[in-house]
Chains A and B, each alone.
Chain A
Amino acid sequence: DQQVKQNSPSLSVQEGRISILNCDYTNSMFDYFLWYKKYPAEGPTFLISISSIKDKNEDGRFTVFLNKSAKHLSLHIVPSQPGDSAVYFCAASAGYGQNFVFGPGTRLSVLP
């Protein structure tokens, strides 16, 4: 049973446009969410987080939106740059003392 889903295995976007990566979860106990970016042959790099007490968090070009009722979160990258081309993972945790569950990832390609 996959508790964290990223239903788009891949996404292509033109440079300068918005990239929207989606993530759905099934466990209503999840209350802390992370997004990671991963380049080939490197470990995942932490991008941005959001806790369930918020519905939006911004950090530069990256914004994460959380819709608790829909059990859905999304990562917006504006404007998209070729260096953003990577695999993006969302991860969720049920809070203190609980480990993270990762989604399968979405491969983003930003075309020049």
Chain B
Amino acid sequence: EAGVTQSPTHLIKTRGQQATLRCSPISGHTSVYWYQQALGLGLQFLLWYDEGEERNRGNFPPRFSGRQFPNYSSELNVNALELEDSALYLCASSLARGGGQPQHFGDGTRLSIL
């Protein structure tokens, strides 16, 4: 069974640009979650999509947005990039909506802002 896949592995941008990160969940999983892990910090919850709908979002500004496609894959978009957006962005998927099922993570996209 293929795991959660994320692309690209690394992404380098400059301040003010826009970044798009992609995630393909495990087959059969309908929920997709996005997390930010800045250097030295834990996982900060960004967004959660289930069945194509945004179910919850963390304490991040509106320039962080995303969507989930009919095949349950997902995109995370970050507009007007700032230096502090440099981080590892992790995507996870799970079988059911929210709690009660473990989340399975991809290896992340390392976003670097110059």
Contacts and interface: CB of A to CB of B under 8 A. Distances in A.
B62 interface: no
A43 B106 contact: yes
A89 B98 contact: no
Contacts of A69: none
Given A97-B98, A97-B99, A104 B41 contact: yes
Given A43-B108, A99-B56, A99-B98, A89 B103 contact: no
B100 A93 contact: yes
A104 to B, nearest CB: 4
A44 B99 contact: no
B100 A95 contact: yes
A97 B97 contact: yes
A112 B95 CA distance: 38
Contact of A95 (B42, B56, B92, B98): B98
Contacts of A93: 98-100
Contact of B103 (A94, A98, A100, A105): A100
9 contacts: A43-B105, A44-B90, A46-B104, A51-B100, A89-B42, A98-B99, A99-B98, A101-B45, A102-B44
B102 A98 contact: no
B99 A95 contact: yes
Interface of A: 31-32, 34, 36, 41-46, 49, 51, 89, 91, 93-105
Most buried by B among A94, A99, A100: A99
A36 B96 CA distance: 18
Given A44-B90, A99-B33, A31 B45 contact: no
Interface in B84-114: 90, 92, 96-100, 102-108
B43 A96 contact: no
Interface string B33-60: 1010000011111001000000110000
**3 smallest A-B Cβ distances: which pairs?**
A93-B99, A43-B105, A104-B42
Nearest to A4: B42
A96 B103 contact: no
A71 B34 CA distance: 27
